[in-house]
A and B are shown apart, each in its own frame.
Chain A
């Protein structure tokens, strides 16, 4: 069915306005990365600065272990995404479909872990990591990131499973599927948008986290990208060009991951799956 013209115009109007608002500050970052002479600010509004140069980008790849950092970050983030999605998809399912003792308490406990200001946890966290010999390992970092991402992921998956009609599962059970088979073959495919969001969120958590990484990783070869990026920052003498160009490069994989995943967000997979 064709939409009325006014609605189409409205859609584009809203999207254009917000796209502009979203893009402008981002373009500013690009502008800093191209600006010669290490300046954060500029007195004009030009996006492509005068005498722009790609020196910062060249420097990143030739004189800084940027690729190494990127590799570390990818390793950590992908593994966290994998564990996060696995644990959240099964845990969320249990929270959505089973009535067991301690369910409510469990769900609540999960979000209480997010309530304590993270900056105050750093000191004990470091003490713990040091005692467990996990300083300078990715393992400690990954466990923590998974724990950071999980509460949201679990709740989100539970919410998604809630939107999937139980009648579908019942039908599958009648057709002879086991509970586990039903979950894998019927429920999980329908929860794909939820899985995508869970994956994206877990990835972002690990990809951009900085504070804990700074506590755990204490060798520049082990740095993840945010740490590498922050190593260009210093009180009153930050290398703005490097900082900004690294930030642009850091966001590229996120955009790519999102592009790859986004078709699952707008495909409308469940349409017509159930008639109630």
Chain B
């Protein structure tokens, strides 16, 4: 994969997009030649009937449900004004928008515009997937925008001249203090007051030893929420607040340590924050009037302000008493960026849309309805002169905020802060140690993220090896090829029967698989995103040189064995219980498959809620009913891992039950009759008849169950919130996922995936050989 060829294919792919966007009726018509069913389907899928004279602009955004309505209204107005442009919007969640856009841009396609916060821009520019918007913005008075909302960045190919890579329509995303006037009278001016007010508002009303109302809540486990405490103590995450400076982390400072100490004391010394308080717990407590104050971002305020149960007021964050410096939150701008692949008419149309959506009318609409701070100075001024208390408080808080850096390095900073901060909360480290550890990890992560790697000496040897390997395989199997031909004549029916299935499988998997094989030997990363090339074995070396790899591998094996074992045991038990004369069998069955039927991405979150320290059902039931001690399920590494395992077993047993139940239908009743005559006990019957007879159906289920469990990202990700606490709950796939999606180490991720693949292959070979499952009868 040499760069020039790659570029060429990108250009051709660009034309492909063009064709996809303006499908001609002819293309749709040809589909009808196929079977009727398929034809109708493709028709449906391709959606004929679009006029090709219109230019279509696609916009990916991450606006919330309420904002989406407003966006659609604005776009309708725009389309009326510009009848030759059609706009298609698509919502994607922030992280998905980022990774989806990267993939699409790499394939040479993707939406013309993306809308999102400015913090992914640094990466986008480095990857070369966003374009310069300045040529189109000449007609627009850029002076009318506040500075932060226009992001100019330099990148590969334009090291000297910065490009305009984002035009913001709003600034914000900043934290402020919201208090419930029913519970406290006024907002604290400084942190001494904050602690005092919070202590006064932390109450055990019914004196049962359990706190019913907390003084202060916020997403306590997330470093983003700690930043205002750091700034208030005089520190910052980088050594300079200048957004144009080269980002060097500055976490190993007395200021950061002091801030960490302060935050930890809030919970452990002053006890005004509930244990294990995460975003959803904080949000729920405040909304239900069980917390006096919350620190949360501008995205959440309108819900609090519109609530009937509480009387919420937005106020600026207090001044840190020991330093006299106000707590300053990070402020980000949100706006539109242009896909580097967008050209010609599409790009023109897209930029017309950007001008409209960042225009005064549009911004005013968003400000009035969503209480967001506009990016145009004039409108912002007007907001300040208005009587609207929230907007004023928001603007005041924004005014003392610090602009969030737009560099890709910020992600490495978050990833280094999070585990160490959580370790601090868990009591396994001190503020001083935590801050120096954060620094060390951030520096290392940034180094790895920005690593440039040129093809090493091993590169060409590798290519030679690959050719030799294929040739060797063909030679080794030479006798079998001949046999295959002879066998084809004899067993034609058999080949015809398996061919369609094999074909479908190979069609979908071959290309992605080979792509990954090549990728695993390549330097694809943040710095080599589009111009990556095969460099050698470095990725594999890196995997095996890390001690964490082996530790995570051990956890993965533990996870897989425990999950599969219990799923199968429970599945068999339930199938055995159901397979007999039971009243209400149908009802039992339906109830028992619910864990399989309800989408896992919501039930996993419910389980997370059930594991909450103070308010989760698991602790409440264990403590109140059985008198067991409270377990900090989500805050303690082993307990959190156990929580993930429990959730996965819950998700997995219905499947095994259904398999076993199906398998039991094939067991002839005579066998049991004979056993009964021989006075074999029920357990004996199960052990000697049921289990052996279930083997043919259980073995594939167990094999694949093991493979799926080994590669199950969802449960770990949702229950432990991406490896929390302190990245201690990872299994290999979540570990890969984090490396790839947070630090852009595509080559490294591919290598790790190859290792996973070979381990599973080895397992399957051994297991299937021992169980003789591939034999025909």
| Interface set of A (CB-CB < 8 Å, partner B) | 3, 7-8, 10-12, 14-15, 18-19, 21-26, 28-29, 32, 37-43, 45, 75, 79, 87-88, 90-91, 93-104, 106-128, 130-131, 133, 135-139, 143-144, 146-147, 150-152, 154-156, 158-164, 166, 179-180, 190, 193-194, 196-197, 200, 204, 208, 210, 214-215, 218-222, 226, 229-237, 239, 242-244, 247-248, 250-251, 254-255, 258-259, 262, 264-275
User: Does B95 touch A at the CB level, under 8 Å?
Assistant: yes
Q: Which residue of B lies closest to A113 (CB)?
A: B509
List 4 A-B pairs, minimum CB-CB distance, nearest first: A155-B700, A124-B515, A98-B494, A94-B497
Assess the A274–B42 pair: CB atoms within 8 A. Answer: no
Within the complex, the shortest CB–CB distance from B743 to chain A, in Å, comes to 14
8 contacts between A and B (CB under 8 A): A19-B588, A25-B606, A29-B598, A37-B287, A103-B774, A150-B501, A159-B773, A250-B599
Which of B588, B600, B776 is A15 in contact with, Cβ under 8 Å?
B588
CB-based contact A242/B670 at 8 Å: no
B63 smallest CB distance to A (angstroms): 8
A265:B777 contact, CB within 8 angstroms? no
Bound state CA distance, A104 and B90, in angstroms?
A: 45
Q: A235 with B94: in contact, given A39-B283, A45-B620, A116-B513 (CB under 8 Å)?
A: yes
**CB contact between B750 and one of A101, A120, A146, A208 (< 8 Å): that residue:** A120
Q: In the complex, are the beta carbons of B777 and A147 less than 8 A apart? A: no
Main secondary structure on B side of the interface with A: helix
CB distance from B576 to the nearest CB of A (A): 9
Residues from chain B with Cβ under 8 Å of A251 in the complex: 594, 597-599
Asked if A121 contacts B491 (CB within 8 A), the reply is no
A168 to nearest B CB, angstroms? Answer: 12
Assembly CA distance A8 to B580 (angstroms): 9
Docked complex Cα distance between A90 and B736 (Å): 37
Q: Which of B415-457 contact A (CB under 8 A)?
A: none
B588 partner residues in chain A, CB cutoff 8 A: 15, 19
Q: Given A220-B90, A262-B586, decide whether A117 and B756 contact each other with a Cβ distance below 8 A.
A: yes
A residues near B773, Cβ cutoff 8 Å: 155, 159
C-alpha gap A126/B88 in the complex (Å): 20
How far is it, in angstroms, between the C-alpha of A212 and the C-alpha of B666 when the chains are bound? 36
Please give the distance in Å from A23's CB to the nearest CB on chain B: 5
Closest-CB distance, B206 to chain A (whole angstroms): 13
Known A-B contacts A97-B776, A114-B708, A159-B700; the reply to A127 vs B103 at CB < 8 A is yes
Cα of A6 to Cα of B595 in the assembled complex, Å = 29
The interface bits of chain B over 736-777 (1 if a CB of A lies within 8 angstroms of the residue's CB, else 0) are 110010000010011001001100110011001000011011
> What CA separation (Å) do A200 and B590 show in the bound complex?
13
Tell me the smallest distance from the CB of A226 to a CB of chain B, in Å: 6
Docked complex Cα distance between A190 and B668 (Å): 12
CB <8 Å contact, A244 and B602: yes
Bound Cα distance from A41 to B279, whole angstroms: 10
**Contact call B700/A130, Cβ cutoff below 8 A:** no
Nearest-CB distance from A216 to chain B (Å)? 10
The reply to whether the CB of B355 lies closer than 8 angstroms to some CB of chain A is no
Cα(A189)–Cα(B49), bound, Å: 45
Q: Does B579 contact A (CB under 8 A)?
A: yes
Q: Which residue of B lies closest to A148 (CB)?
A: B508
Q: List the A residue with the shortest CB-CB distance to B102.
A: A123
Main secondary structure of the interface of A (DSSP, over half): helix
Contacts A37-B287, A154-B501 given; does A11 touch B582 at CB 8 Å: yes
A117 to B716, CA, bound (A): 14
Given contacts A130-B107, A162-B777, contact A117 B700 (CB under 8 A): no
CB distance from B172 to the nearest CB of A (A): 13
Would A259 and B586 count as touching, CB distance under 8 A?
yes
B492 nearest in chain A by CB position: A100
B293 to A: closest C-beta gap in Å: 17
Binds A, one of B296-304, B372-380, B461-469, B630-638: B296-304
A272 touches B669 (CB 8 A): yes
Known: A39-B283, A222-B45, A242-B65. A266 touches B700 (CB 8 A): no
Q: Report the separation of the CA atoms of residues A87 and B663 in the bound assembly, to the nearest whole angstrom.
A: 20
Chain B residues with CB under 8 A of A275? 670
B665 and A193 contact, CB distance less than 8 A:
yes
Residue B44 interfacial (CB < 8 Å):
yes
Give the residues in chain B near A190, CB-CB below 8 Å. Answer: 666
Given A125-B512, A163-B696, A255-B590 in contact, is the A151-B92 Cβ separation under 8 Å?
no
> Would you call A267 and B595 a contact (CB within 8 A)?
no
Nearest to A21 among chain B residues (CB) is: B650
A115 touches B589 (CB 8 A): no
> Which of chain A's residues have a CB closer than 8 A to the CB of B512?
116, 121, 124-125, 128
What are the interface flags for B588-621 relative to A under an 8 Å C-beta threshold, 1 for contact and 0 otherwise?
1111111111111111011101101001010010
- Say whether B691 faces chain A, with CB atoms less than 8 Å apart: no
| Residue B284, interface by CB 8 Å | yes
- Check B776 against A32 for contact (C-beta < 8 Å): no
- Residue ID in chain B nearest A154 by CB atoms: B501
| Segment among B13-21, B178-186, B327-335, B359-367 that sits at the interface with chain A | B13-21
A40 to B662, CA, bound (A): 37
CA distance A136 to B20 in the complex (A): 9
Q: Indicate whether B733 reaches chain A with its CB closer than 8 angstroms.
A: yes
With contact pairs A87-B504, A120-B516, A122-B103 given, residues A111 and B764 touching in the complex (Cβ less than 8 Å) = yes
Residue of B nearest to A39 (CB): B284
Q: B33 on the interface (CB 8 Å rule)? A: no
Report whether B668 and A270 are in contact in the complex, using a CB–CB cutoff of 8 Å.
yes
| Residues A29 and B100 in contact in the complex (CB < 8 Å), given A150-B504, A159-B700, A258-B593 | no
- State whether A147 and B753 are in contact (beta carbons under 8 Å apart), knowing that A98-B494, A112-B764, A233-B93 are contacts in the complex: no
- Among the 9-residue stretches B147-155, B159-167, B392-400, B480-488, the one with 4 or more Cβ atoms under 8 Å from chain A is B480-488
A268: which B residues are within 8 A, CB to CB? 665, 669
Interface status of B573 (Cβ within 8 A of chain A): yes
Partner of B602, one of A43, A161, A243: A243
| A residues in contact with B219, CB < 8 Å | 236
Residues of chain B within 8 A (CB-CB) of A97 are 494, 776-777
Q: How far is the CA of A214 from the CA of B620 in the complex (A)?
A: 38
- How far, in angstroms, from A54 to B663 measured CA to CA in the complex? 41
Q: State whether A123 and B20 are in contact (beta carbons under 8 Å apart), knowing that A143-B507, A147-B505, A273-B668 are contacts in the complex.
A: no
Q: Which residue of B lies closest to A114 (CB)?
A: B707
- CB of B41 within 8 Å of the partner chain: yes
A111 B707 Cβ-Cβ under 8 A: yes
B215 adjacent to chain A (CB < 8 Å): no
Contacts of B777 in A (CB 8 A): 96-97, 161-162, 166
Chain B residues with Cβ under 8 A from A197's Cβ? 658-659, 662
- A29–B700 touching, CB < 8 Å: no
B668 to A90, Cβ gap below 8 A? no
A116 near B93 with CB under 8 A, answer: no
Shortest CB-to-CB span from B753 to chain A, Å, is 4
Q: Known contacts A26-B595, A43-B615, A116-B513; is A234 also within 8 Å of B64 by CB? A: yes
B585 touches A266 (CB 8 A): yes
Bound form: Cα–Cα A19–B620 in Å = 20
Determine if B760 and A138 form an interchain contact, defined as CB atoms under 8 angstroms apart.
no
| A193/B577 in contact, CB under 8 A | no
Quick one: which of A87, A127, A220, A239 contacts B107, CB cutoff 8 A?
A127
Cα A130 to Cα B94 with chains together (Å): 22
Give the docked Cα–Cα distance between A127 and B524 (Å).
15
Beyond A43-B284, A126-B103, list 20 extra A-B contacts (CB 8 Å).
A8-B582, A15-B577, A28-B617, A37-B288, A87-B504, A100-B494, A102-B484, A111-B707, A114-B707, A117-B736, A120-B736, A126-B104, A155-B703, A159-B700, A161-B777, A163-B693, A193-B666, A222-B47, A236-B300, A250-B598
B573: which A residues are within 8 A, CB to CB?
Answer: 14
Closest to A137 in B: B45
> B156 an interface residue at 8 Å Cβ cutoff?
no
Determine if B414 is an interface residue (Cβ-Cβ < 8 Å): no
In the complex the two chains form, is B501's CB within 8 Å of A87's CB? Answer: yes
**Residues of A with C-beta under 8 A to B606:** 25, 28-29, 32
Contact A214 B100 (CB under 8 A): yes
* CB of A171, distance to nearest CB on chain B (Å): 16
- Which B485-544 residues have C-beta < 8 A from chain A? 487, 490-491, 493-495, 497-498, 500-502, 504-505, 507-509, 511-513, 515-516, 519
